[in-house]
Structure 1
Amino acid sequence: MAASDIGVAAVATELPGPPIDNATLGRTLHAGATFETWVDTFIGTRTRHLAMDLATGEVRSSLADLAEAAGRKALTAAGVAPGDVDLVVMGTSMPDSLLPTTVNLVADRLGIDGVPTYQLQSGCTGAMQALDIAHQLMLTGRHRIALVLGGDVCAKHVDLGMRFDTLSPGELVNTVLFGDGAGALVLTADPAPGAARLRRVLVRFVGRGKAPGQTVEWFGMGDRHEQRSALHEDFKAIEENVPTLAGQALTELIGAEGWQPADLDYLLPPQLSVRMTDRIVKRLALPRAEEVSCVGETGNTANALPFFQLERILPRMEPGQRAAAVAVESSKWITAGLALEAV
């Protein structure tokens, strides 16, 4: 089976709760008088959706809840019954539990059974890694319909009792950057005429010898009382590395397809933050590609982000149009991307 035979039948997303603006977030977290100005200047995110009710601390949605909702919508939009799905792959950095895996909880809820399921733990490139695995397995001809899931819920790392006005910028930035959400995509080996084809998926580990740019701790019964930060972001390293890595990934991705920068109609850039995305897009300097970004409204939903971006372009793509998406993971430096073409 050729790569051109794998098509995107449908994509869907799910967000928890209403949008939370910076003023509301700052007041709830007692983050200080300069919080809103700092967010606008250095981050640019305007709103995000959180699975936790900030007024009560109640967690309203799990990752399985959001992924189930997105998966159900994607299957319905694709006209695919759960029994027709023969492969499920999920990417997440924050599963609901270590075991059972969230992908299997979602498959069970959707009525999918007796098929291979895989869950990949990764940061902002996890969704691309899940797509890569599904794409490669489908190219063997053994699978006809795959459900690819991605998402993150960061409620387990939010402590409303903390003094956020005492946190270092490297710790506080995680509270501002991230939002919760999930996405789902149906791949088919029998795409409809005019549907977007998944031409290529790129995943590269590029972190040999580099210090991690982000650390997310996982506490168990033995070390839960240790006084160490659960999250830390080396934003300076990210600012220095991500634009360059994004450019390298895009060059490799479209070069492998024989495309030129001017051939792209849509660019789905990394979505760490509004300010970072602006820098990346400016550096890439594509002559005619339309930028497709959502991070200003959703926050950085990590492994859900590509689905939100794809949801914005797939209904608009006309035959002959091309799109490229790029993601960069800073935890130990991974580049990823995908190339789409409507046929």
Structure 2
Amino acid sequence: MIYAEIVATGGCVPERVVPNDFFNYLVDDADTWIASRTGIRERRFASPKESTSDLATAAARSALARANMEPGELDCIIVGTSTPDMYLPATACMVQKNIGAKNAVAFDMNAVCSGFIFGVETADNFIRSGKYRRVMVIGADTYSKILDFDDKGTCPLFGDGASAVILGATEEKRGILQSMIFSDGGGWELIQVPSSGSRCPVTAETIAAHDNTFKMSGKQVFVFATDVIPRIIEQVTTRAGVSVGDLDYIIPHQANVRIIDFISKKTGLGKERFLLNLDRYGNTAAASVGLALDENLRNGTLKPGQLVLIMGFGGGLSWGGALIRL
């Protein structure tokens, strides 16, 4: 049987650090207000000349370097993003050109903050089928480009970044042991950019109304997240034939520490088993899970043989998880 193992990971965040007090114009003592509600202390914003493909390219090069792999060895590049460089062509094709992966098919996938997880499942299926042997999955977003900086309920939450993982075929039982992804279109209106496509094209009027910026129904999304996360933990582990207690670590989408606190209490899993970095990066959308995975592999927290569950949730509505034996 063929499995998809992690060959290498990479990550990239912009240089510009934006502390909570940047938002003092919205609320008094923004640092205390934001940190107490979200756990976020700072985030990174891309420069005006820096795009999603730039961050994705840097993450991809980092992963290739750690794998000691030539770009031409890649069979496929999947970029999960909801902030592409432009409507067309695919951001993945720009990354393909930038890194010189001339033999790789490249395409984008938009599952909003679940994009990395959706990409991992897709790559796993490609590899298990024997179609491809080496697939790079990238999660990359620059939400600072689409935020409404007059909306204190959303703009302090997000940061920019990119993460990459190279998955390779192996006959040993390690890597991705089980994965599951889900969608519920009944909740699509909860997370959206109203004026951004053919449904409501961008005009001077929609710009004036800020309809070309990110909108989220925060309370309803919190209820959604705290419902689906425990379910995906239980579903993935059960299908894989392991118990929740067997998990060494969980890497969740880095959205809000209150969500993690709730899940920890609901599942009985100690908070120390959830690997977080949202205090330093905020919600980096599709990049968040991969950034935490890369960071904890590099710092030695994650070790060979450990059992790790990665999970995401976001617009669509969408959610999913993947169980990995390192």
TM over 0.5: yes
Q: Is the 8 A contact 1:47 1:297 kept in 2?
A: yes
Contact 1:15 1:181 in 2 (8 A): yes
* Alignment partners' CA distance in 2, 1:180 and 1:318: 27
Whether the aligned pair in 1 keeps the contact of 2:143 and 2:284 (CA below 8 Å) is no
Are 1:38 and 2:33 an aligned pair? yes
Q: Does 1:147 align with 2:142?
A: no
* AA of the residue aligned to 2:41: R
Q: 1:218 to 1:94 in 2, by over 3 A?
A: farther
Shift of residue 132, structure 1, vs aligned partner? 1.1
Report what 1:275 is aligned to: 258
What residue in structure 2 maps to residue 237 of structure 1? 220
Structure 1 distance, partners of 2:196, 2:286, is: 21
Residue number in structure 1 paired with 2:167: 187
| Whole-angstrom CA distance in 1 between matches of 2:233 and 2:204 | 41
Give the equivalent residue in structure 1 for 2:192: 215
Corresponding residue SS for 2:255: coil
Q: What corresponds to 2:116 in structure 1?
A: 127
- Alpha-carbon contact 2:78-2:92 (below 8 Å) kept: yes
- Residue 14 (structure 1) shift: 0.2
Please name the residue that 1:50 is paired with.
45
2:10 matches 1:12: yes
C-alpha distance in 1 between matches for 2:210 and 2:276: 34
Residue of structure 2 equivalent to 1:112: 101
Match of 1:338 in 2: 322
Contact between 1:91 and 1:130, CA under 8 Å: does it hold in 2?
A: yes
Mapping of residues 63-212 of structure 1, within 5 Å: 63-158=52-147, 164=150, 171-190=151-170, 197-205=175-183, 207=184, 209-210=186-187, 212=189
1:167 maps to none
Contact residue 112 and residue 316 of structure 2 kept, 8 A: no
Question: Does the CA-based 8 Å contact 1:150-1:183 persist in structure 2?
Answer: yes
Q: What count of residue pairs does the alignment treat as equivalent?
A: 318
Pick the aligned partner of 1:321 from 299, 306, 321: 306
Partner of 1:168: none
User: Does the residue aligned with 2:167 lie in a helix, a strand or coil?
Assistant: strand
Residue type at the aligned position of 1:177: L
Q: Which runs of 5+ in 2 are unaligned?
A: none
- Going from structure 1 to structure 2, the CA distance change for 1:224 and 1:132 (only over 3 Å counts) comes to farther
Q: How many angstroms apart in 2 are the aligned matches of 1:174 and 1:243?
A: 18
CA distance in 1, matches of 2:303, 2:97: 36
1:246–1:270 contact (8 Å) kept in structure 2: no
Moved more, 99-108 or 234-243: 234-243
1:273, 1:296 within 8 Å by CA — same for their partners in 2? no
CA displacement 1:215-264 (0-9 Å, x = unmatched): 22344775243224322211111222211110111111111100101101
CA RMSD of aligned residues (A): 2.3
State whether residues 267 and 289 of structure 1, in contact with CA within 8 Å, keep that contact through their aligned partners in structure 2: no
TM-score, normalization by structure 1: 0.86
Tell me how far apart the structure 2 counterparts of residues 21 and 118 of structure 1 sit (CA, whole Å): 34
**In structure 1, C-alpha distance between the alignment counterparts of 2:272 and 2:33, rounded to whole Å:** 31
What SS does structure 2 have at the residue aligned with 1:253? helix
Could you tell me whether the CA contact under 8 Å between 1:247 and 1:284 is conserved in 2? yes
Unmatched 5+ residue regions in structure 1?
53-58, 165-170
Residues 288 and 150 (structure 1 numbering): CA distance in 2 closer, same or farther, change over 3 Å? closer
The one-character-per-residue Cα deviations of 1:269-324 (angstroms, maximum 9, x if unpaired) are 23212222222233222269722111111100011111112113334444442111
What SS does the aligned partner of 2:241 have?
coil
Identical amino acids, percent of aligned pairs:
25
SS of equivalent residue, structure 1 residue 270: coil
Taking structure 2 as the reference length, the TM-score comes to: 0.90
Answer yes or no: is 1:265 the counterpart of 2:248: yes
Deviations 1:153-190 (A, max 9, x none): 1233246xx6x3xxxxxx32221110000011111114
